[in-house]
Amino acid sequence: MTKPMHKREPPRGSGTRGSEPDRANESAVDLIDKLGGYEAKIAQGAEGRVFAVTFLNRPAIVKQRFKKTYRHPTLDAKITRARLVGETRALVRARKLGVPTPSLFYVDKRQNAIYMERVPGRSLKELIREGMSDEDMEEVGRQVGKHVAAMHDGGLIHGDLTTSNILVARRQTGEGDDGNAAEASLRVVIIDFGLASNSIIPEDKGVDLYVLERAITVTHAASRLFEAVMREYKTASGLWSASFNKFAEVRMRGRKRSMIG
């Protein structure tokens, strides 16, 4: 007696029309292109590109991580996705700690892109090069010290605390009694959490402070700004002592490397 023949089902996702994920990717809209981002590229670094767009009628910045062809595609996808999620979480966590950061609008996992508020202002790097008044250096240093202390006490390490990642915006405080606009005040915003990590280790905090010192003190006059940072950090942080001790050690190691070459 012969056994009945059973029809063999094809494996899921097979067929001439391709799998569901493949068809979805083919039909998906390139949102950056649709918003005109590729024609408004602001910057490009080793990890990604930054575009200026209008998102939901609001000025926005798109930070897109691109593929690395030297890595295996599967490994590259995992690393890129992990860094995208890590940066998003760090940005949200910093805001919860009271640190001024760009507002998060949208995360596009398919294009590995983060849409966030476009903050009006200039980088601290530009302002230092042009020269800042003593009053502005004191105010900016105070705010930077306060925000970095909040991150560190909350267990968040920025990882790339350079003056390019600190924006300074001027905002009007209202009108004076004579009807004229009052003098603008300064507002510091911390950006780019792509290298951020969670840590309560004083060594990591010390490295953050050392990177910031090296970035600020490119001119002798800007040393006053960093002094203001450290004064406010000491006032605002409940864990400043251990951080300062490690900062001194990291600074000494850095100077020795510079002398040796």
Structural domain harbouring 57: 29-117
Query: Does 131 fall in a domain?
Result: yes
Q: What is the pLDDT of residues 187-212, one digit of tens each?
A: 999 999 999 999 999 999 999 999 99
Q: Which of 61, 255, 237 is nearest to 144 (CA)?
A: 237
Residues belonging to the active site? 160
Rounded Cα–Cα distance for residues 225 and 145 (Å): 10
Listed residues 102, 117, 132: the one ending a domain: 117
| pLDDT over 80 (residue 29) | yes
pTM (2 d.p.): 0.83
CB 217 within 8 A of CB 255: no
249-259 mean pLDDT: 74
Q: What is the pLDDT of residues 107-160, one digit of tens each?
A: 999 999 999 999 999 999 999 999 999 999 999 999 999 999 999 999 999 999
Query: Does 23 fall in a domain?
Result: no
| 159 and 136 within one domain | yes
Query: Does 4 fall in a domain?
Result: no
Helix axes 240-260, 223-236, angle to 10 degrees: 150
| pLDDT over 80 (residue 34) | yes
Name the phi and psi angles at 143, rounded to 5.
-70, -40
Give the per-residue pLDDT at 12.
45
Listed residues 64, 87, 117: the one ending a domain: 117
- The pLDDT confidence band at residue 184, using thresholds 50, 70 and 90, is low
CB 144 within 8 A of CB 188: yes
